A and B are shown apart, each in its own frame.
Chain A
């Protein structure tokens, strides 16, 4: 397919694909087995300038946008979404600073993220605050020129490995949703530590840990935007980051399709390659169709966001919802096409299927995406005066 990418966008794709093929694919099974954080690959991605593709040039980036970020994520995801998630999660931690940070915060924190010298992470989720961010219990109390943070963030991607964290805490409980604020916390801040490393079904090379705040004292200038804007910061961040989850899904689906077709062309049963059987052919055809539809959707959403449009919540949710549901189906069918081999850990598709599941859960479950889409439809049509009957 031709998506009319610019020369620079094609370069992003080429470099990310080369790294994925030569450096990630050969060790993905090993990383999955050992649950080892892929530092070596992160260093290669840093040297190749990929961490800065979506950041402005004045902060050491390459001046691209959501589409460039998605292209890099997709190519890496084609080899391993645990590695690609690690990369993408640094962007998730950077977006609140990029979108809402002060000039000083941007100048201090974005260049090391753009160069890949430091990883970033975003911390919202807590034990009692998943889909309902209103359940956040971590607090931040102003104390002169400082804020004191207390509480525990859960299931934070890149926790323990990243050095720059954007976290959401309650500054005024009486104000409900308007009582939350976003802060930048750095590794080494007093009273800031990490909980145990979680054992996961998939995405095992990605680090998932708790952030522990125990009278964590940070300078007041670490507040992002103003007090009370924590939820806005979170929602606007997810609006630009969700196509990236769609891109992970597109890469994963493509990776599963690649293996399925190659296998079906080689595997002989009843005297012919199984791709000659309509039952298998139609499965592959559906996998290819849905994967391509996902890709077109992610690129279109990313381009729309990069155009500077404001009404992006719905398309952003759509670009996460559809490709991730597709990735679950495609990887499940990849296991089916490979049959018994597919179920074996010696072959890569069972990992893909385990990994796929998280895409329907993190950065807002797909049920929450449907809520967003539904609410936006209600608003959108509420503004239309004409009838379609």
Chain B
């Protein structure tokens, strides 16, 4: 079984700031991390490999330094990695991104399953996984919390919903996005980490994927970010402080006097 995991390097949410002048993310001095949801995708793939054997390839599209993110996942025991990096990829929306990833998956054939995190914490679109399935013309399921192979050709997915979970079964090859309930990602291993340090990671650009300049990056995108802004701070709110009893009393009095903001 060959599983491809798509990950994304994102700014560490703990330090994110938006430049008030330009309304763009301030990336300087902000650490990059592997998108937290993607760790569950890596873990899901490794769990399947533990159970059924096979190979796990991790892949990301990003600038050259995204290679660091790939090496971090290799330290958990992922078999190989591919970096999709090309100046032409810059500014890609979810359409162009998922098309680029789909071409790379096709180049890695045979691939039985693609796993993504449920969404990335920077864009929060949750579109790339399903988009990837559309470009690959494969079935997909989102919010997987448990994955199980059936008869070697089907994937049974417990799919988290607001009210419990659904059980979905789909034919492979397919795409699935997963949630935290998959289980905590395992700790890195020393032998894996040593191997990760040395392993050669191929870099594929648009030409390697037979993609034309107008199909990738900003040019290949149907949407554009016109404006990014921080919502204006709301003035009509009060944070209660102090002991719980004091806070309760203050809240009680505010409610009694009908002075709760927004009421």
Contacts and interface: CB of A to CB of B under 8 A. Distances in A.
A7 B188 contact: no
A48 B194 contact: no
Give the residue among A7, A15, A18, A53 with the most B Cβ atoms within 10 A: A15
A18 B191 contact: no
Contacts of B188: 14-15, 18, 48
Interface string A12-26: 101100110011000
B189 A49 contact: yes
B206 to A, nearest CB: 35
Interface string A34-52: 0000000000100111100
Contacts of B187: 15, 18-19, 22-23, 44, 47-48
Contacts of A53: 190
B75 to A, nearest CB: 8
A99 interface: no
A310 B197 CA distance: 35
Contact of A8 (B186, B189, B194): B194
B39 to A, nearest CB: 12
Nearest to A11: B193
A11 B103 CA distance: 35
B191 A15 contact: no
A9 to B, nearest CB: 11
A49 B188 CA distance: 9
A22 B189 CA distance: 15
Categorize the interface residue count of chain A. Answer: 10 to 19
A48 B194 CA distance: 12
B186 A49 contact: no
A49 to B, nearest CB: 4
B190 A50 contact: yes
Contacts of A47: 186-187, 189
A14 B111 CA distance: 33
Interface string B168-205: 00000000000000000011111101100100000000
Contact of A62 (B186, B191, B197): B191
Contacts of A14: 188, 193
Contacts of B193: 11, 14-15
Contacts of A23: 187
Contacts of A49: 189-191
A7 B191 CA distance: 13
A62 B194 CA distance: 10
B197 A15 contact: no
Contacts of B191: 49, 62
Nearest to A45: B187
Contacts of B190: 11-12, 15, 48-50, 53, 62
Nearest to A16: B190
Give the residue among A19, A23, A48 with the most B Cβ atoms within 10 A: A48
A228 B190 CA distance: 39
B189 A7 contact: no
A18 B185 CA distance: 12
A11 B189 CA distance: 9
Give the residue among B188, B190, B191, B193 with the most A Cβ atoms within 10 A: B190
Interface of A: 7-8, 11-12, 14-15, 18-19, 22-23, 44, 47-50, 53, 62
Q: What are the 6 tightest A-B residue pairs by CB atom distance, in nearest-first order?
A: A49-B190, A48-B189, A49-B191, A49-B189, A48-B187, A11-B193
9 contacts: A11-B194, A14-B188, A15-B189, A15-B190, A18-B188, A19-B187, A47-B187, A47-B189, A49-B189
